[in-house]
Amino acid sequence: MMIARRADTRARADFATWKMIAKLNGASGLPPAAQEFLASYKARLGDMPEDEATEATIREMYKAYYAEMGGGGAPPEVKPVAAEPVTGNVTAFRKLPPKKAAQSGTTAPRKLPVALIFAALCVVYVGVRLYWQ
C-alpha cells in the first residue's frame, strides 16, 4: 500500500507540474513520457470535462508509476487524503490562537530600545579608541 500511496502522490504532483509547464509554453522541454501523458490529456478534453480528463490521466500515470516502483499486479485503489475545503485557488483564512496571558506574579523583562543599545556601543567604541591612543 505504501508503493501505491507514493505512486499516486507522484502522479498527482507530476501532472500538476507538467500541466503548468504546458500552460507556460514549455511542454517541448518535458521528457517524452510527460509529453505522451499531456497528449492523452488533451485528447480526453475533447470527450469529457476537465475534471474527469484530469482524473483519468492521473489514474493512467498512477498505473505506470506503480509498475515502475515495483508494485506487483494491478494497482490498488488509493483514496485521496482529505484536504481542507478550497474555494477556487484560495484556502480558508485561519486566525492564530491567542497567546496565553502572562501569569500575574511574573513579568517578562523589558527589552532595551534599539537606540539605547546603539548609543552604548558607540560609547564603548569611542572609549576603546581613546584608551589605545
Q: Are strands 90-91 and 86-87 parallel, antiparallel or unpaired?
A: antiparallel
Residue-wise pLDDT for 43-72, tens only, equals 888 888 888 888 888 888 888 888 888 877
Predicted TM-score (pTM) of this structure: 0.56
Task: Read off the pLDDT of residues 8-35 as tens digits, 9 standing for 90 and up.
Answer: 888 888 888 888 888 888 878 888 888 8
Q: Is 86 helix (H, G, I), strand (E, B) or coil?
A: strand
Indicate the Cα dihedral angle 112, 117, 123, 126, nearest 10°: 170
